[in-house]
Structure 1
């Protein structure tokens, strides 16, 4: 089932997609996605509220990556609303955005990881600022605090748009202005899509030039929501 509100005959109804979509080598597509995610660091994580079925998004900071850089890991407070959401429905979406208009949307399956060895591996002292020390000798925001868990997102599909212009926003603005004057669709982005089989291939046999793994400070907007 699809929606349409126009009949353009033999002409492309969505010339922006037609002009900007490209299909380079898999290694280039994945490398550019990973580099963009690293550059952005912050994303909106969308889950489904268990009690109502409505969607909700929260700002999260990337903590680390696994699966040759394709699977993403976030810190979380086990007592926050998002863990209830994911326990009920583990379908998830991550949306990254830059002020330039570049963006990435990653859909996947989330799992809640409570293994202390892995929590310690990705622990950041910045977590203390968000969880606080409850003064009971156990819930202190440290690596052994049972409230600190991980959300691992196994990417299933991804789509993203990064700028074509070497001059970034300035080049895009010029291209956009040309389009306004001439009516020619602007070619400003590299619009790409990665399906499940492509991402799985990268997880099993590395197709990227470098695997990144970092533990940046926790964004914390997730700890109490």
Structure 2
């Protein structure tokens, strides 16, 4: 029992499919043994002529029948794995919110789209495809619900420091440009307003760029000075 065999779908019925194993008898895969998910129609899974991998489930020598399953034997039970474990798996389904990976448990684990890469992923198809072999890390296990949350990015190298610094510089430049357009944002006013009753200055008419830059510099110098005074108290 449990022997792995390669066969070809010979005929299909409402209750399953007969598989040619190049033996004296054909094997039968019941519809319930085709997927761990519910199947309403055998035709949704296999067609005559398809090559399939099957495992021997039972043998009835008196009737000359061989019961087969297309469900790969489980590698693990839920009690065998822990959060933080690294596992090998295969992508089985791709949804808008993430991908389902077979890691050898009773049910496939979910890798949320946010756990596919350190970079922004708009659609899971950009990162993986059905059939891809992936390495995942176990994030969370719910034994009662038989659910496992996985991560691919947890086992990937994070972005280089240079890239992070570059992103920081770009952000800083954007903030400085916005500061020139408006001397003090609402957020800064709220933060610094606690220092000696500082309040956001009211908007005024546009002034020459040079004068505006000097005024902004004076404001920042004043804020820094007040901040240091508070820190020394």
State TM-score, norm by structure 2.
0.23
Q: Comparing both chains, which one has the higher relative contact order based on Cα–Cα distances under 8 Å and sequence gaps of 6 or more?
A: 1
State TM-score, norm by structure 1.
0.24
